[in-house]
């Protein structure tokens, strides 16, 4: 190992760590530059007791947002590391389309602080097989693998499957989104034995309308999961546009 140290130092000089957001040289891997770090909005309590939508102030234990009071979600909340914005979008796109797989580790490190204490199993939101063949990988599965390494919670990328290709949900209303994902997900053979009575963390990169998460959650609950919590890198907050 000592013989490899000089080579490692040369590699660091030739390929120094860079900011996951803008590419500026930084002091360590997965570290954002001061500008990108300052523009990230990290999410956490106080939040809605139902969906974990962040509140501007503490409304008290058990407080719900208006949407959850009108139509409670099937899942037990959406935990997002950051609010969707320019830097969060840049990191997500580098992973998704440029195959910068190190970005999955960057996301997982930020998401780990919100890992539920009772988590039993990490399940990534699946892609349809045609999408995997064209893209080469499932970005949510890459993030789930990084979270598994960081937390010690097992992940299973084959348990939940997308059996129907779905259109882009952007621009569709709530009914259109729900219709588009209806019947799109199914469990693999033997999945109920793995799910029964367990707290499942559904892992994704970006949470937008919630239609996909809700559809996945219903399938997992029908399969025997005791509870499903969504954990993602970024969340599009109300009033924000998904570019």
DSSP assignment of 181-233 equals HTT-EEEPTTHHHHHTTPEEEEEEEEE-SSHHHHHHHHHHHHTT-SEEEEEEE
pLDDT at 5: 42
pLDDT band at 7 (very low <50, low <70, confident <90, very high): very low
| Percent over 70 (pLDDT), the chain | 87
Distance in angstroms (rounded) separating the CA atoms of residues 207 and 209: 7
Distance in angstroms (rounded) separating the CA atoms of residues 49 and 73: 11
pLDDT band at 165 (very low <50, low <70, confident <90, very high): confident
**Domain extents in the chain:** 1-39, 42-235
Residue 67 has pLDDT above 50, yes or no: yes
Whether the CB-CB separation of 191 and 159 falls below 8 Å is answered with yes
Half-sphere exposure of 195 (CA within 13 A, CB side): 25
Residue 207 has pLDDT above 70, yes or no: yes
Backbone dihedral angles phi then psi of residue 176, each to the nearest 5 degrees: -65, -40
Q: What is the mean pLDDT of residues 44-49?
A: 94
DSSP state letter for 132: H
Distance in angstroms (rounded) separating the CA atoms of residues 78 and 142: 19
Whether the CB-CB separation of 65 and 48 falls below 8 Å is answered with yes
Residue 92 has pLDDT above 50, yes or no: yes
Per-chain mean pLDDT for the chain:
88
pLDDT at 243: 57
Q: What is the mean pLDDT of residues 70-77?
A: 93
Distance in angstroms (rounded) separating the CA atoms of residues 18 and 28: 8
Whether the CB-CB separation of 109 and 145 falls below 8 Å is answered with no
pTM above 0.85, yes or no: yes
Backbone dihedral angles phi then psi of residue 122, each to the nearest 5 degrees: -100, 125
Whether the CB-CB separation of 85 and 63 falls below 8 Å is answered with no
β-pairing, 160-162 with 199-207?
unpaired
How far does the chain reach from its first CA to its final CA, in angstroms? 46
Q: What is the mean pLDDT of residues 94-100?
A: 90
Whether the CB-CB separation of 3 and 14 falls below 8 Å is answered with no
DSSP state letter for 121: E
- Residue 97, number of CB atoms within 10 A of its CB: 10
β-pairing, 121-124 with 78-83?
unpaired
Residue 84 has pLDDT above 50, yes or no: yes
pLDDT at 27: 86
Higher pLDDT, 19 or 10: 19
Residue 39 has pLDDT above 60, yes or no: yes
pLDDT at 242: 62
Dihedral Cα 67, 44, 237, 159, nearest 10 deg: -80
Q: Which fold would CATH assign to domain 42-235?
A: Rossmann fold (3.40.50)
């Amino acid at each position: 190992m000592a013989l490899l140290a000089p080579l490692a130092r040369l590699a660091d000089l030739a390929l120094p760590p860079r900011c996951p957001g803008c590419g500026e040289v930084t002091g360590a891997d997965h570290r954002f530059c001061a500008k990108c770090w300052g523009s990230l909005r990290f999410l956490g309590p106080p939040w809605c007791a139902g969906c974990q939508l962040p509140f501007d102030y503490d409304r008290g234990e058990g407080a719900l947002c208006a949407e959850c009071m009108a139509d409670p979600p099937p899942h037990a909340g959406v935990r997002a590391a950051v609010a969707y914005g320019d830097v969060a979008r840049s990191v997500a796109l580098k992973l998704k389309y440029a195959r910068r797989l190190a970005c999955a580790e960057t996301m997982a490190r930020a998401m780990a602080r919100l890992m539920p204490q009772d988590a039993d199993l990490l399940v990534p939101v699946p892609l349809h097989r045609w999408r995997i063949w064209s893209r080469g990988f499932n970005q949510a599965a890459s993030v789930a693998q990084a979270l598994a390494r960081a937390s010690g919670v097992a992940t299973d990328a084959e348990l939940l499957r997308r059996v129907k290709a779905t259109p882009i949900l952007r621009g569709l209303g709530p009914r259109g989104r729900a219709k588009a994902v209806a019947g799109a997900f199914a469990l693999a053979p033997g999945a109920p034995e793995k799910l029964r009575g367990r707290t499942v963390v559904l892992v994704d990169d970006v949470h937008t309308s919630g239609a996909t998460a809700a559809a996945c959650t219903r399938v997992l609950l029908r399969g025997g999961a005791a509870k499903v919590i969504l954990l993602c890198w970024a969340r599009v907050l109300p009033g924000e546009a998904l570019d």
